[in-house]
Structure 1
Amino acid sequence: MDGRERPRRPAILDNKDAELIWGDSDPALASEAAHSTANAVLYGPSHLAEDERLAERVGAIIDAEGLDEIAGLWSRSPATTLPGALWRLYLVRAWLERDPETITMRFRAGTAQTGPGETTSDGEPRDAVAAPQPPVLDERLAQLFGGTSETELADVLEQAAAFLRVLSDGAASDPRWHTHDDAAAGPVTRRPHALAATADELDAAASRARARRLD
Structure 2
Amino acid sequence: MASSFHRPTKFPPGMFEAFLGGEDPAQLNRVAHDTAAALLARVRSDPDPEIVSRLVAYTDRHGIDAIAELWSRSSAKSLPGALWRIYLLRTLIRQDSETLSLAYRRGSEVSHTIDQVVAGAPVPAGPGEVIELADRILHGVFAGDFAVALDRAAAFGRVAAAGFASLADDADAADAVHPDRPASFTRRALRLTELSDELTACAKLWRRDALD
TM-score relative to the length of structure 2: 0.66
- What amino acid maps onto 1:157 in structure 2? L
- What amino acid maps onto 1:23 in structure 2? G
Distance 1:144 1:72, change over 3 A: farther
2:133 counterpart residue number: 137
Considering fraction of residues, name the structure with more helix. 2
Distance 1:129 1:45, change over 3 A: closer
Is residue 2:187 matched to residue 1:176? yes
Distance 1:99 1:46, change over 3 A: closer
Residues 164-203 of structure 1 aligned to structure 2 (within 5 Å) = 164-172=157-165, 173=168, 174-177=185-188, 193-203=190-200
1:25 counterpart residue number: 23
Q: Distance in 2 between matches of 1:135 and 1:90?
A: 12
1:90 counterpart residue number: 87
Q: Distance in 1 between matches of 2:79 and 2:34?
A: 10
1:207 counterpart residue number: 204
Residues 1-215 of structure 1 aligned to structure 2 (within 5 Å) = 10=13, 18=18, 21-44=19-42, 66=62, 68=64, 69-114=66-111, 118=112, 126-127=114-115, 130-133=118-121, 134-144=130-140, 147-148=142-143, 152-172=145-165, 173=168, 174-177=185-188, 193-215=190-212
CA contact (8 A) 2:151 2:200 kept: yes
CA contact (8 A) 1:175 1:195 kept: no
More displaced, 130-139 or 162-171?
A: 130-139
- What amino acid maps onto 1:30 in structure 2? L
Q: Distance in 2 between matches of 1:160 and 1:112?
A: 19
Distance 1:91 1:31, change over 3 A: same
The count of residues paired between Structure 1 and Structure 2 equals 167
Runs of 5+ consecutive residues of structure 1 not aligned to the other structure: 48-58, 119-124, 178-191
How far 1:207 moved relative to its partner? 0.3
> After superposition, what is the alpha-carbon deviation per residue over 1:94-122, rounded to whole angstroms, capped at 9, x for unaligned?
112111111111111110112xxx3xxxx
How far 1:4 moved relative to its partner? 5.8
- Percent of pairs with identical residues: 37
Q: Distance in 1 between matches of 2:67 and 2:209?
A: 23
Aligned CA RMSD, in angstroms, stands at: 3.3
CA contact (8 A) 2:79 2:211 kept: yes
Distance 1:5 1:28, change over 3 A: closer
How far 1:175 moved relative to its partner? 3.5
2:124 counterpart residue number: none
TM-score relative to the length of structure 1: 0.65
